[in-house]
Amino acid sequence: MTSPSFPVVTRFAPSPTGRLHVGNIRTALHSWMLARRDGGRFVLRIDDTDAERSEERYVDSIRADLAWLGLVPDQEVRQSARFALYQARFDALVDAGRIYPAYESAQELDLKRKVLLGRGLPPVYDRAALRLTAAERAALESDRVRPHWRFKLDHDSPIEWDDLVRGPQRFDPATMSDPVVRRADGSWLYMLPSAIDDADLGITHVVRGEDHVSNTALQLQMFAAMGAPAPAFAHAALLTGSEGKLSKRLGSLGVDHFREGGIEPAAVLSLLTRIGTSQPVEPLVDPAPLIEALDFAHFGRAPARFDEAELAQVSARIVHQLPFDAVADRLPEGMDAAAWAAVRPNLAAVAEAADWWGVIEGPIDPPTAAEDGAYLAQAATAARAIDWAGDPWHALTARLKAESGRKGKPLFLPLRRALTGRDHGPDMAALLPLIGRDRALARLDAAADSNRSG
Ligand code: GLU
């Protein structure tokens, strides 16, 4: 699917005013996947034009969160380093009559809106600033009224595009206010710098949430005004919480929360790639098949439902597939591939492997079920007689079955308790060779002693 003549360039453009949350992680993911699918480039654009609200610690956390997820950008740009470019494009658009100064105060604009709404009309800016005479403008400026700046929409034809998710879109520019692109203090609003950057960085596909659909209509006119080709757009439906409503909690769920909960990054990728699409959620350690199968045509228009419990399940299913090499640096000292293979099917999170390593190495709490004392003494004797080189668990239980006449739970459970101190856990056939003969004999002896009745 690679098209070298038209390399795909996508971008993820967070504002560093907070941590990434599950909604923008999903946006980042889809942008990254599209670039990877088509052999293109993925750009991280830090939208830090707002000096007051942007914080360096959030820039760092955005980078760290993307790194944890494995979404490595091919390029990073910061809007705060690009003001000269914005100024140049702005000047050209002012010269071309596509950006104009407006002098209304916030209160005046608010009043205009209220009047229109009161008459049942849409609160569209009336372009009064365009009708000022040169003398009126000069008078305002001599009163030291500093203008803010609006982009003049072209009302001549509808704004149309074929959205990769939503299909054909159409907006009537006459129903939209000329957007303010720059404040009176010279600071930039989001809209124009974003379009300038998308044009300048050669972005071919903008993937973002559907809350940006009307911005896209405005930005398409900005691309046209700059004589730049417009990128393709994919506006994904928003996320909702598991309860089906737009949930505040989603805004607080991010990489820290996932990591603390023992969630694997591959689970976040597996789930967020597919929720809200007609493709099934598949727990995959390697995202390559997800990338290969990415197709916006499968994205639904209804909100995507994000369920933390589902994420935990997907993560557990990923843990069950993780090879030793992928987790070795997260396992306790000494825990080897055989131990990992033995405990892996029982884990919801990799960190739980340490509990089972503690069970293997001991010490464990001996069980206290008095009625099994004689049976456990019999087990201790049998365990001394069997061959430990092959499959000691089956050798031990076969022998005890014949000697004691027990079967099923009464045969197995006292042994599991004596050998692990627990009622449940990994397959004993895998665990017992790891516990080993010496520890197993000591545990059976201890259990037999503490359970001797009478
Ligand atoms: N900084 C904007 C946001 O976080 C970027 C939107 C876009 O993708 O253009 O909403």
Examine residue 26 and state whether it is found in any structural domain, yes or no. Answer: yes
Examine residue 346 and state whether it is found in any structural domain, yes or no. Answer: yes
Same-domain pairing of 352 and 212: no
Examine residue 275 and state whether it is found in any structural domain, yes or no. Answer: no
Structure tokens that stand for 431 in this block = 């665990």
End residue of a domain, out of 311, 336, 359:
359
What does residue 382 show for φ and ψ, rounded to 5 degrees? Answer: -60, -40
Examine residue 217 and state whether it is found in any structural domain, yes or no. Answer: yes
Same-domain pairing of 371 and 441: yes
Same-domain pairing of 367 and 355: no
Examine residue 249 and state whether it is found in any structural domain, yes or no. Answer: no
Same-domain pairing of 50 and 176: no
pLDDT at 5: 56
- pLDDT-derived band at 241 (thresholds 50, 70, 90) equals confident
Same-domain pairing of 410 and 329: no
Q: Atom 10 (ligand 1): residue with closest C-alpha?
A: 14
Examine residue 207 and state whether it is found in any structural domain, yes or no. Answer: yes
Number of the ligand 1 atom closest to the C-alpha atom of 209: 8
Q: What angle, 0 to 180 degrees and rounded to 10, lies between the N-to-C axes of helices 428-450 and 373-385?
A: 130
Structure tokens that stand for 439 in this block = 């520890």
Q: Atom 7 (ligand 1): residue with closest C-alpha?
A: 13
pLDDT digits (tens, 9 = 90+) for 361-409: 999 987 776 678 899 999 999 999 999 999 999 999 999 999 999 999 9
Q: Can you say whether residue 331 is alpha, beta or left, with left for phi > 0 and alpha for psi between -120 and 50 degrees? A: beta
Same-domain pairing of 113 and 196: no
Q: Averaged over 180-194, what is the pLDDT?
A: 97
Q: What does the alpha-carbon distance between residue 236 and residue 166 come to, in Å, rounded to a whole number?
A: 8
Same-domain pairing of 219 and 177: no
pLDDT at 147: 96
pLDDT at 176: 97
Same-domain pairing of 367 and 387: yes
DSSP 210: G
Same-domain pairing of 348 and 386: no
Please list the alpha-helical segments (H only) found in 5-150: 22-37, 56-69, 83-95, 106-118, 134-142
Peptide bond into 14 cis (omega under 30): no
pLDDT at 250: 82
Q: Could you tell me which residues come within 8 angstroms of residue 397 by beta carbon, excluding any fewer than 6 positions away? A: 411, 412, 415
CATH number at residue 225: 3.40.50.620
| 0.75 exceeded by pTM | yes
Answer whether 279 contacts ligand 1 (Cβ < 6 A): no
Answer whether 194 contacts ligand 1 (Cβ < 6 A): yes
Q: Averaged over 297-314, what is the pLDDT?
A: 95
**Percent of the chain beyond pLDDT 90?**
91
End residue of a domain, out of 221, 237, 253:
237
Examine residue 246 and state whether it is found in any structural domain, yes or no. Answer: no
Q: Atom 3 (ligand 1): residue with closest C-alpha?
A: 14
pLDDT at 336: 96
Please state which of the ranges 83-87, 91-95, 242-246 shows the lowest mean pLDDT.
242-246
How many CB atoms sit inside 10 A of residue 264's CB? 25
Residue numbers in the known binding site for ATP are 248
What does residue 388 show for φ and ψ, rounded to 5 degrees? Answer: -90, -5
Q: What does the alpha-carbon distance between residue 28 and residue 67 come to, in Å, rounded to a whole number?
A: 12
Give me ligand 1 centre to Cα 286, in Å.
28
Give me ligand 1 centre to Cα 47, in Å.
7
Collapsed DSSP state (helix, strand, coil) of residue 40: coil
Same-domain pairing of 57 and 202: yes
Give me ligand 1 centre to Cα 281, in Å.
27
Domain residues for the domain of 380 are 362-453
Q: What does the alpha-carbon distance between residue 182 and residue 179 come to, in Å, rounded to a whole number?
A: 9
In the predicted structure, residue 31 carries a pLDDT above the cut 70: yes
pLDDT digits (tens, 9 = 90+) for 252-269: 789 999 999 999 999 999
pLDDT at 245: 60
Same-domain pairing of 381 and 448: yes
CATH number at residue 410: 1.10.10.350
In the predicted structure, residue 348 carries a pLDDT above the cut 50: yes
Give me ligand 1 centre to Cα 191, in Å.
9
Same-domain pairing of 98 and 167: yes
Ligand 1, residues 25, 190, 192, 219: which to mutate, most atoms within 8 A of Cβ? 190
Answer whether 321 contacts ligand 1 (Cβ < 6 A): no
Examine residue 369 and state whether it is found in any structural domain, yes or no. Answer: yes
CATH number at residue 135: 3.90.800.10
End residue of a domain, out of 337, 359, 381:
359
Residues 431/361, Cβ–Cβ less than 8 Å = no
Residue numbers in the known binding site are 248
Give me ligand 1 centre to Cα 421, in Å.
54
Q: What does the alpha-carbon distance between residue 183 and residue 285 come to, in Å, rounded to a whole number?
A: 47
Total tally of structural domains belonging to the chain: 4
